[in-house]
Amino acid sequence: MDITGIPFGTTDWSTIEPTEHKGITGTAYWRTQQFGNIRVRMVEYTAGYLADHWCTKGHILFCLKGELNTELEDGRQFLLKPGMSYQVADQAEPHRSSTSPGATLFIVD
């Protein structure tokens, strides 16, 4: 990642209006900031959320609250709990998210 052209700044995530993204079940609420070609998000998944697609975008994802299950297209599954993260490159391994109890994540992509 090459981070250039971004002056120092702070983000009060509570002031950013969330956008709603429906899953097969449940909803994801994204609070998004764009810094050049870097997207930074605070994402809240409701209990019972299941993504409606396989994602091929690269991310660095950090679990702040709840639990997130990430399934790879090849069948492997990973459970993130608070304090855990994952990283995956663009076009590397299709993945999708689900959560039973809900989760709050910090994502950079």
Contacts of residue 98, Cβ cutoff 8 Å, sequence gap at least 6: 23, 49, 50, 51, 68, 69, 71
Rounded to whole angstroms, the Cα distance separating 90 from 81 reads 23
Average the pLDDT over 67-91 and give the result.
Answer: 96
The pTM of the whole model exceeds 0.75: yes
Query: Does residue 80 have a pLDDT over 70?
Result: yes
**What is the pLDDT, as a whole number, of residue 67?**
98
**What is the pLDDT, as a whole number, of residue 81?**
98
Plot region of 91 (φ>0 → left; ψ -120 to 50 → alpha; else → beta): left
Average the pLDDT over 75-95 and give the result.
Answer: 96
The single-letter DSSP state of residue 18 is: P
Q: What is the share, in percent, of the chain residues with pLDDT greater than 90?
A: 93
Query: Does residue 7 have a pLDDT over 70?
Result: yes
Q: Which amino acid is at 48?
A: G
Q: How confident is the model at residue 1 (pLDDT cuts 50, 70, 90)?
A: low
**What is the pLDDT, as a whole number, of residue 3?**
82
How many Cα neighbours within 13 Å face the side chain of 19? 6
Tokens linked to 38: 């870097």
